[in-house]
Amino acid sequence: MASIRKRQNKWQVRISREKLEMTKTFHLKSQVQLWAKEIEIEKGNI
């Protein structure tokens, strides 16, 4: 599952599932949402 939060002037997404934990930072919230969706589909979360 992805969690999105605003940190200063950037957006951070954290995906954690079983043994997988990934964190990435973007300038736009739409980029965060797209990346999170792609990773979740790739890892079979949806």
- Summarize pLDDT for 28-41 with one digit per residue, the tens: 999 999 999 998 88
**Separation in Å, CA 1 to CA 6, 8, 9, 10, 30:** 17, 23, 23, 20, 17
Domain boundaries, the chain: 2-42
Phi-psi region of 36 (alpha: psi -120 to 50; beta: other; left: phi over 0): alpha
Strands 10-17 and 2-7: antiparallel
| Helix, strand or coil, per DSSP, at residue 30 | helix
pTM over 0.85: no
- Summarize pLDDT for 8-30 with one digit per residue, the tens: 999 999 998 788 889 999 999 99
